[in-house]
Structure 1
Amino acid sequence: MDGEDKKIALALKVATLYYRDGFNQQDIAAELNISRATVSRLLQYGRDQGLVTFKIHNPLAPLHQLETGLLEKYPSLKKAIIVPGKDNPLEEVGIAGAHYLEQIVKHNDILGLGWGKTVYQVALHIDAKDVSGVKVVQMKGSMANTETRNYAFETVNAFASAFHTLPQYLPVPVIFDHAKTKELVANDTHIKYILKLGQEADIAMFTVGTVRDSALLFRMGYFTAAEQKALQQEAVGDIFSRFIDAKGHIVNHDINERTIGIRLDELKKKKHSILVAANVAKVPAIHGSLVAGYANTLVIDQESANNLLEYSN
């Protein structure tokens, strides 16, 4: 080992004792039988050579800095709305999403909706707006194989009430047992009309799901144990019940063909494609959605935003 390698090795030992093990400089000097000044110089050398680097995670960083960071990280993202989320992130995201919708909905817009707790929180906080000709439509099937609550009907009803219109339901399972069955249902005149409304929607609002055992779709009885296991191995989450990987690619085309609702590429065409989320467990799926460009607006809590900014796959 030459002189420079020995210096590097000693600097690493000093840095380990100082930064990891909590030794002070005097203790390190005594432990290694070197002077305190040498310890100080070696610590500086380690920093200068990149042997030691620092990463500061500041949960109190100004929200506008987080917004700027997310907009830079995801080029397809046009707007990021971040709430502190200290007490009730889900409710705060719901309130922020509702206020944003109230600003952008205009006469004759078609508003397409996903479902789940986060979108329902938006519905709970939306105020009536004096607009006419607005249509509110479910953009994916809503019936479940179990009694697990998905808030689908309550959500579309609340939005329709706020915008003085009749709700347009998609009253079928979101995922069928067989692709042929789904195809037959999708060709029904009324179902075809609802799907077309979703495709034509000016605004889409939705959340993402996870692939944890507790995920809503897994609790709703749509999948066999083998299908669930496969999805958990391949996917990071779902958008409109279509399962994606970390790059936003569909991971199981068989299940995708059994799924009824908006196709993900259609979301890229929306004037406003709004993803609302308030759970750090959803960060991988949020990332996949943004990388693929499925959402151009994000409403999120601060903790999840911090995690999203640091996330890499």
Structure 2
Amino acid sequence: MSPGPSKSRLTESRGNARGAAARARTQEDAIVEVTWCYYQDGMNQNEIAERLGISRATVVNYLAEARKRDYVRISLDTDVFRNQDFARRLVDRFGLGDAVVIPSSPDGAEQSLERVTRAVADWLPSLLEPGDRLGVAWGETVYRVAEAAPRITLEDLTIVQLVGSRPAALGFAAETCSATLARRYGAHCVNLHVPLILSDRKLVEQLKQEPVIQAQLEAVANCNKTIFACGTCGDDSHVVHTGLLDRADIDACAADGAIGVICGRLIDHNGNGLDRDIEDRMIAVTLQQMRNKEIGLLVGSGPDRAEPMLAAIRGGYATHVATCSQTAAELLKLADDNA
């Protein structure tokens, strides 16, 4: 029988653990101190480095770590973007309840979308009240909003997953979007525990009759507010990436007049749904259920998003819009051209 660790080794191990914990605590304190000095006291990085006896590079790293850990959150007052000229023109032109328009990034569409989703993350809490049931769609845009959302507690809020589950890249799946936003807001989450599409219509009807699924679908139908994006009908569409439709299908639908996608369902230029044979095999919010909400927050940005967004507005799905200045200009131009 081999001898156990000596008492001195155990003492040394415990000492090392305590030392590591102390060093971690010391670094944690330093990160907090650097963050306070920079954001609250208005000191520059060189001044902080001199005060704390560390290098400027360390100050930069500590500030980056503070942002990563959500110790500090930088946001602009969304009223600035609500009162922007394009925002007021969108509200007036389309009869919206409100809009925010973020300046487009000079670095391209990807960066513009990032700006818009971060602004929406700051704006959304102001649109919610106790007792609200917020229906959450899926896809990259909605996922980015959820990831950027502040960690706050919104009283008596229920988050509802609007579409059934479907494998999606990079965490853009419906259940990830709803669960992430619910966690950020400290809200109750109602997930829709069924596949988005099945191969058999009878199976769909059987699943809908299950008491648990029935209750979840009632929550979907009873949402009083929604947040969603209107996808495109091209090869790069979210419904193509998730396998809901293949490229041949989406091309055929586009030829038949499809211009956008809301919660997996195709719409035409006027926001009307296309009657496809897979509709009866899908378990998700219906287009009719998406209409006429207290708030339907449509989020989108990019050169290919103006037409789908305009269709969603025409169809009565959106009461509020968040976009970038270039997309807003294109929306207004399209509306004027088709007047």
TM range (shorter): 0.7 to 0.9
* Counterpart mapping for 1:1-313 below 5 A: 64-75=84-95, 77-86=96-105, 87=107, 88-144=111-167, 149-223=171-245, 226-234=248-256, 235-311=258-334, 312=337
Which deviates more from structure 2 when the two are superposed, residues 88-97 or residues 165-174?
Answer: 165-174
Give deviations 1:184-233, integer Å, cap 9, x for gaps.
Answer: 22222222211211221122001011111111111222235553332121
Using the TM superposition, name which of 220-229 and 235-244 deviates more: 220-229
Give distance in 2, aligned partners of 1:124 and 1:198: 22
How far does the alpha carbon of each residue in 1:132-176 deviate from its partner, in whole angstroms, 9 at most, with x for none? 2211110111223x7675343332222111222343222333233
Q: 1:120 offset after TM fit, Å?
A: 1.1
TM-aligned CA distance change 1:130 to 1:222, over 3 Å:
closer
- With normalisation by structure 1, the TM-score equals 0.73
State the superposition RMSD in angstroms. Answer: 2.2
Q: 1:224 to 1:176 in 2, by over 3 A?
A: farther
The answer on whether the counterparts of 2:229 and 2:262 sit within 8 Å (CA) in structure 1 is yes
- The question of whether the paired residues in 1 share the 8 Å contact of 2:293 and 2:317 is answered with no
Distance 1:147 1:171, change over 3 A: farther
CA contact under 8 A between 2:135 and 2:162: conserved in structure 1?
Answer: yes
**Percent identity between the two aligned chains:** 26
Contact 1:148-1:220 at 8 Å conserved across structures? no
Local SS of the residue matching 2:84? helix
- Mark the runs of 5 or more structure 2 residues left unpaired by the alignment: 1-81
Question: Which residue identity is paired with 1:78?
Answer: G
Q: Is the 8 A contact 1:176 1:222 kept in 2?
A: no
The CA deviation string for residues 212-264 of structure 1, in whole angstroms up to 9 with x for no partner, is: 11111112222355533321212001111110000001123423332222122
**Cα distance change on mapping 1:148 and 1:184 into 2, 3 Å:** farther
CA shift digits 1:83-140 (9 cap, x unpaired): 0131411221112211221112222221110011111111112113333221111011
Tell me the number of residue pairs that the alignment of Structure 1 and Structure 2 aligns: 250
Structure 1: segments with no counterpart, 5+ residues: 1-61
Q: TM-score, normalised by structure 2?
A: 0.68
Equivalent residues of 2:204, 2:281 under 8 A apart: yes
Q: CA–CA distance in 2 between the matches of 1:191 and 1:102?
A: 28
- The 8 Å contact of residues 66 and 305 in structure 1, kept in 2 or not, is answered as yes
After superposition, the Cα gap between the structure-2 partners of 1:232 and 1:113, relative to the gap in structure 1 and judged at 3 Å, is same
- Equivalent in the alignment of 2:16: none
Q: For residues 163 and 148 of structure 1, what CA distance do their matches in structure 2 show?
A: 22
Structure 2 Cα separation of the partners of residues 179 and 148 of structure 1 = 30
Distance (whole Å) between structure 2 residues aligned to residue 304 and residue 63 of structure 1: 17
Aligned partners of 2:181 and 2:149: how far apart in 1? 7
Distance 1:85-1:142 versus aligned 2 partners, 3 A rule: farther
> Shift of residue 268 of structure 1?
2.6
